[in-house]
Structure 1
Amino acid sequence: MKKNILLIALFAFSFTACTRYFIGKPAQLRSIAVSDTTSAPSSALSQQIAAYLQPYHDSLDARMNAVLVKSPRRITKGGPESELGNLMSDILREMGQERLGKPVDLAITNNGGIRADFPAGNITLGNVYEIMPFDNELVALTLSGETMQKVIEYLAQRKEPQSGLKLVIDKASNKPVEVLIGGKPLDLQKTYTLITSDYLAISSDMAPIVKNNKGFEVLHYLMRDSIADYLRRKGQQNQELDPKKDGRTVVQ
């Protein structure tokens, strides 16, 4: 028996070694009707598979439906400033700062990456996955004052959610006319720490601006996990989710 298996293996190897290309037959397609009335597996095998998978389904369902925190109202995104945008950027700054272990001057996220609103009432882990479905990680960048100025100009053009700035933008030119970082004017001789996503730092329109950084650190912390951790903490402290617009980004 072992000899036969060996011969088959050698034959298969010699065939594949001598053949570089394979031409498959054209696929023959046919339509299969799926009835909405089919609510449960019908065959014995499919019922066994469903029974095997049911505990995993129930476990995942319970995890996704776990309530993290409550909100008195629906929290939505928008521009140039929104409650949801402020909340997301504040979370990234606070949780990123904890992960990094040193003060963070600015956090930036993007409206396009926020894919849903937070509902009024119970906010679950499933809601966090809906709002942030991507596996983007937090990164920390050390930037010169000159590079930070270019980042702020980018923000003025795009009006993305941010935490750490008081930013006044000229409506006609989309340029910053007033900038305060942590309540202080931008210092071109200083270095600043920026928390953002790996997408914004590497693949977005902002990436060429922050490419010449003085330090780049991946925090190995998914944005989604940082949001869930923050909301869970709020819930454990019996606090409701109540972000507000505070005038951090103003167009005039």
Structure 2
Amino acid sequence: MKKIFFYTLLLLIGVSCKEENLKVSKITGEQIAIDTSLTSNESLDEFIAPFAENIEKEMNSVLAYAAYDLDKTDGKFNTAIGNMEADAVKEMLNPILLKRINDTLDAVLLNYGGIRSTIAKGKITTKTAYDIMPFENEAVVVQLNANTIRALFNYLAENKVAHPIAGMQLILKENGEIEKALVQNKPLDSTKNYLIATNNYLQQGGDNMDFFSKADTIYEMDYKLRNLFIDYFKKHDTIAPKRDERFIKLN
């Protein structure tokens, strides 16, 4: 599969180098089964080999160390890996936002389904970041009023899923009703607008998070979450997040 990827890449590069006034007159296609009957092209293999080696080296470069296994199934309402992701977004976006609009985030909300892999104890590599975030999702910041934040909390309370959050605390009663809902350790202020970081998939209504469509303002951060996590791992020698009290249900 790696060879097919590089052949395709080379083909695209070749096409891009041709004159812009050329037009496609006909497109045909056929299905070619990938099996042992296909033989490699030795000259192309030799040409591609250095590029493949560089990519492999980059993917296996060590960024940090995980103190223990991190799995999104380790908690009902919040997980260590989810907390790490939300905290990473908050930490890495705040300096950018401060420079851009002279303000910082109030909270972060990501989606549980966006965590696509575990992080095994030991070396964290570039490949680790691609494993946990294989999508091209980008970070965005939205401005929401207090009523919309209440809708956000109601969504979390009703779904009872460990969506990664930071800067917020949601405590549910035993019957599932909201006992406490705080942003930056304070009750919601009806006169305040809140800056919430999320990803572009959720901002566009993914996972039925329709409240994001009510954003007064949207800031495109031009920062892929995968790259954000890579930068976060580079910044910290050891990754050791914990489950905490940010989203819990009372017994």
TM range (shorter): 0.7 to 0.9
**Superimposed CA distance per residue, residues 106-143 of structure 1 (whole angstroms, 9 cap, x where no aligned partner):** 10111101000111100000011010000001011011
What is the Cα-based RMSD across aligned positions, in Å?
Answer: 2.4
Written as runs of structure 1 = structure 2, the 5 A alignment for 1:93-242 is: 93-101=90-98, 102-158=103-159, 159=161, 160-172=163-175, 174-235=176-237, 240-242=238-240
For 2:193 and 2:85, the matched residues in 1 are separated by: 24
Question: Could you tell me the TM-score, scaled by structure 1's length?
Answer: 0.79
| Corresponding pairs, count | 218
- Runs of 4+ more than 4 Å apart: 29-33
For 2:178 and 2:111, the matched residues in 1 are separated by: 18
* Amino-acid identity (%): 27
Residue 83 of structure 2 is aligned to residue 81 of structure 1: no
For 2:33 and 2:206, the matched residues in 1 are separated by: 41
Unaligned runs of 5+ in 1: 1-12, 17-21
Amino acid paired to 2:230: A
**Superimposed CA distance per residue, residues 194-246 of structure 1 (whole angstroms, 9 cap, x where no aligned partner):** 000000110314442122222111100001111100001113xxxx1110112
Written as runs of structure 1 = structure 2, the 5 A alignment for 1:38-77 is: 41=40, 46-77=41-72
For 2:179 and 2:51, the matched residues in 1 are separated by: 55
Alpha-carbon distance change, 176 to 49 in structure 1, aligned in 2, over 3 angstroms? same
Alpha-carbon distance change, 216 to 33 in structure 1, aligned in 2, over 3 angstroms? closer
* SS in structure 2 at match of 1:185: coil
* SS in structure 2 at match of 1:155: helix
Amino acid paired to 2:239: L
CA shift, 1:31, in A, is 7.1
Highest Rg: 1 or 2?
Answer: 1
User: Aligned residue for 2:245?
Assistant: 247
For 1:217 and 1:154, the matched residues in 2 are separated by: 23
Unaligned runs of 5+ in 2: 1-22
